[in-house]
Amino acid sequence: MSAQWPKPAGIEPSLQADGAAEERGEPVSPLERIGETVRNLGEEEAQVLELLYGFGGRPSSIPEEVSRVLGCPLEAVPEMETAAIRKLRHPRTLKSIVQALDASVDAIWRALAGSDQLLFKSELQASIEERLPGELRVAIQVRHGNIQPWLGEHTCDTSKAWYRGDYSCEEILNAIARVEGIHHEISLPAPLQFVSRFLEMDLPLLILAVKLADFSSIYKGYLSKSSLGIRFARVIDIHRLFASHYREDFATLGQVIEDYRLFCPQDRLDPESAETALSIKPHLFISLGDMGWSAVGPPTEDLSYLNCGAPPTPPESDGRILRHLKPPDSESPPPDPLDLIRQILAGGPCHVSEISRSFAEKASDAYAIKTLHDFLYASWDFVRIAPEIYALREHLNDPAILGNAVPLLFTIHQCRVYTVSRHAGEPLETYPLWSLVTEERLCGWIEGQKARKLFASLLSIAEPQSWDAPQATRDLWTFKRQCLGQHYRLALEPSKKAWQQRPRLQELFAAAVCARRLRYINWLRINHIVRPQLYEQLYDQDAAPILALLAGMKVVEPADHWQKAHAYRPDAEPLLEMLSQELQKTGSLRWEDEIGGELMERIEGNCQEANLGWVHREQVMKLLKK
């Protein structure tokens, strides 16, 4: 420079210029080394860099401010900056700059990156560089020209961001590729823990890969596609509800709705939306018929705090018409079906036939009667207090109301349902209306009917000595039991028709899930799973082949008769876990798939070596070949 400008008043050097610390043998920080090298350029050029870049922790200044402070023309400021940078690139000074820069790699990265060790390219470069001390910004300018070459040299460069951390660049890029291809390998959304196990990838690495991959996001600890809609977000929330409230238990639709409104109070879940959420993602939920729903693979750890990617976006419309609604003939909306049922049950417990008749009268043509079953299970307010008999939940707290409902059981059909259910291992607490008092009154009623086989069978499963009755009454009925109730006379053998078709593998899994929860399974429970309906369909023998295959799979212990309870085998847990993971992965279980073939081989081997009780090996082998 031909001209010399006076040193401005008030400007103090930010760092020691005489190298006294280094001469005394004290450690010199990289910032001090860079500052000292800059000051060796000359006073004016050093001051230009210190002001423009902000040395010593002071804010950087714009050229106009530098011009005013130094008392020089504005156009001279960039000229002095360029000259100073050029001098610093001279080999005599560059070595010191490079050494300081190399010693500051970790410090630079800490200043640039977030807590996840990522620096996204969507951030403006200017804002990136302003995170660094002025000394380091000058050093990067001298060595690289700008921050990007430095990032390319010291980080893993991906399409979305730069990464520097515990994982190698190869590990990061491979993880991104796996996450981007996961949509074609498993059903989504899926809990991160399941995805981590499936990919055999550490959870922190998986989260990093999702952040860097295309078309992926994390919502409340679940991996999903980036275009997660509000309906699928609700599916995730319901799956989380099962994980926190039910685990391996099952819940009715009404119970899910009731608990969900407390779990996610901002979302007023209605029955139609709840049923949709439970049914559209079969890899997360499995239907157990009348007994409700069970979650597939609920997470064992709450990762709901993990979110990345776009938040759920509501669709333009639900895209689904209420299937039970008929086209309205007028603009007036149809009556609320749940309110109609509440009105019917307000007077006390009712049989489904009475509910159906009154519902048809009140609803007119707005709803199909065949959907009454769905409505009865869609509200927490409705309780099945006995097969085919319903009450309001508030009635459970009134012994008088329950006592007055016992005569509803005084029919041949209801007595038969009670008898075969108890013979099949169903406990008294299965329904609120079933009790020892009910059993005593039912025995007294059936004795006067012309149904000797039913009377004898009821006596065979009755427990007179446990009744809350005078000892003389208990002794009398014990004597009757010894005389007439020695044998259960309603036993049937499975017909040939029952073995003509192999059950679906998904039905077997549902029955196995129920057996694990109850620690037993019987033909009545299976009927409730396979064909839920309003009325009990006794002696439907489609459950026989399911029980036989469950015994062949060693999920249950075979009983001596197919109409008795089959105890769950605790050593079946690995098999159920394998089936659960397959369902969670693909959303379906089929005999035609690889896992179905493995299961057939297992059953065939077990049939050769195990005692299957009532199950005939030949019948099982025929089922496997169908």
Please count the other Cβ atoms lying within 10 Å of the Cβ belonging to residue 349.
Answer: 24
Instruction: Judge contact between 296 and 191, C-beta under 8 A.
Output: no
Q: What are phi and psi of 340, to 5 degrees?
A: -60, -45
* Closest-CA residue to 433 (of 453, 410, 405, 413): 405
Whole-number pLDDT of residue 163? 95
Instruction: Judge contact between 311 and 317, C-beta under 8 A.
Output: no
Binned at pLDDT 50, 70 and 90, residue 126 comes out as low
Binned at pLDDT 50, 70 and 90, residue 534 comes out as confident
* Overall average pLDDT of the 4-10 stretch: 36
In the Cβ-directed half-sphere of 186, how many Cα atoms lie within 13 Å?
Answer: 26
Whole-number pLDDT of residue 365? 67
Span of 57-61, 151-155, 350-354 with lowest mean pLDDT: 57-61
Whole-number pLDDT of residue 114? 86
* Overall average pLDDT of the 334-363 stretch: 91
| Distance of alpha carbon 239 from alpha carbon 299, whole angstroms | 9
Question: Looking at the predicted structure, is the pLDDT value of residue 366 above 90?
Answer: no
Whole-number pLDDT of residue 331? 58
Pairing of strands 389-392, 566-567: unpaired
pLDDT, tens digit, 9 for 90 and up, residues 538-582: 888 889 999 999 999 999 999 999 999 999 999 999 999 999 999
3-state secondary structure 134-173: HHHHHHHHHHCCCHHHHHHHHCEECCCEEECCCCCHHHHH
Whole-number pLDDT of residue 543? 94
Whole-number pLDDT of residue 317? 41
Whole-number pLDDT of residue 368? 62
Whole-number pLDDT of residue 248? 81
| Distance of alpha carbon 186 from alpha carbon 201, whole angstroms | 15
Instruction: Judge contact between 525 and 291, C-beta under 8 A.
Output: yes
Instruction: Judge contact between 33 and 21, C-beta under 8 A.
Output: no
* Overall average pLDDT of the 361-378 stretch: 78
| Distance of alpha carbon 505 from alpha carbon 412, whole angstroms | 35
Q: Cα dist. 478→418, 473, 482 in Å?
A: 19, 9, 6
Q: Cα dist. 168→147, 165, 174 in Å?
A: 21, 8, 10
- Tokens of residue 355, six digits: 């509910």
pLDDT, tens digit, 9 for 90 and up, residues 599-624: 999 999 988 877 888 998 888 988 98
DSSP conformation letters of 398-437: -HHHHHHHGGGG-SHHHHHHHHHHHHTT--GGGSTT-SHH
- In the chain, pLDDT over 90 holds for what percent of residues? 73
pLDDT, tens digit, 9 for 90 and up, residues 245-257: 998 889 999 999 9
| Distance of alpha carbon 28 from alpha carbon 9, whole angstroms | 28
> In b/e form, how buried is each residue of 518-552, taking b as 16+ CB within 10 angstroms?
bebbbbbbbbbbbebebebebeebbbbbbbbbbbb
What residues contact 381, with CB distance under 8 A and at least 6 apart? 254, 338, 342, 392, 393, 394
DSSP assigned state of 572 = G
Binned at pLDDT 50, 70 and 90, residue 370 comes out as low
* In the chain, where the domains are located: 20-113+121-154, 337-402, 410-484, 496-625
429 or 329, greater pLDDT: 429
Sheet holding 118-120, edge to edge: 118-120, 161-163, 156-157
Question: Looking at the predicted structure, is the pLDDT value of residue 205 above 80?
Answer: yes
pLDDT, tens digit, 9 for 90 and up, residues 217-245: 999 999 998 877 888 999 999 999 999 99
pLDDT, tens digit, 9 for 90 and up, residues 61-104: 999 999 999 899 999 999 999 999 999 999 989 999 999 999 99
492, amino acid identity: L
* Overall average pLDDT of the 147-161 stretch: 93
Q: Which of 1-15, 215-229, 304-318, 342-356 has the highest mean pLDDT?
A: 342-356
553 or 130, greater pLDDT: 553
Task: Indicate the pTM of the whole model.
Answer: 0.85
DSSP conformation letters of 364-407: TTSB-GGGHHHHHHS-TTEEEEETTEEEEGGGGG-HHHHHHHGG
* Overall average pLDDT of the 353-366 stretch: 84
Instruction: Judge contact between 563 and 424, C-beta under 8 A.
Output: yes
Query: Is 566 in a helix, a strand, or coil?
Result: strand
| Distance of alpha carbon 545 from alpha carbon 528, whole angstroms | 15
Q: Please state, rounded to an integer, the average pLDDT across all residues of the chain.
A: 89
CATH entry 1.20.1300 includes domain 337-402: no
Angle between helices 203-212 and 192-199 (to 10 degrees): 100
| Distance of alpha carbon 41 from alpha carbon 88, whole angstroms | 8
* Bridge partners (DSSP) listed for residue 219: 222
Query: Is 179 in a helix, a strand, or coil?
Result: helix
Binned at pLDDT 50, 70 and 90, residue 39 comes out as very high
Question: Looking at the predicted structure, is the pLDDT value of residue 130 above 90?
Answer: no
* Closest-CA residue to 551 (of 585, 522, 593): 522
Rounded to the nearest angstrom, the gap between the alpha carbon of residue 69 and the centroid of all alpha carbons in its chain is 62
Query: Is 501 in a helix, a strand, or coil?
Result: coil
Whole-number pLDDT of residue 395? 96
* Overall average pLDDT of the 149-168 stretch: 94
Whole-number pLDDT of residue 231? 87
pLDDT, tens digit, 9 for 90 and up, residues 431-449: 999 999 999 999 999 999 9
Query: Is 479 in a helix, a strand, or coil?
Result: helix
Whole-number pLDDT of residue 334? 72
* Closest-CA residue to 210 (of 188, 240, 231, 238): 188
* Closest-CA residue to 77 (of 58, 57, 49): 49
Whole-number pLDDT of residue 26? 57
* Closest-CA residue to 527 (of 513, 547, 548): 547
DSSP conformation letters of 284-336: TEEE-GGG-EEESS--SS--TT--BSSPPB--SS-----TTBPPPSSSSPPPP
What residues contact 5, with CB distance under 8 A and at least 6 apart? 44, 70, 71, 72
* Closest-CA residue to 14 (of 66, 62, 61, 49): 49
Instruction: Judge contact between 234 and 273, C-beta under 8 A.
Output: yes
- Tokens of residue 191, six digits: 């809990």
Query: Is 2 in a helix, a strand, or coil?
Result: coil
Question: Looking at the predicted structure, is the pLDDT value of residue 23 above 70?
Answer: no
* Overall average pLDDT of the 393-413 stretch: 95
pLDDT, tens digit, 9 for 90 and up, residues 309-344: 777 766 544 444 334 334 444 456 678 889 999 999
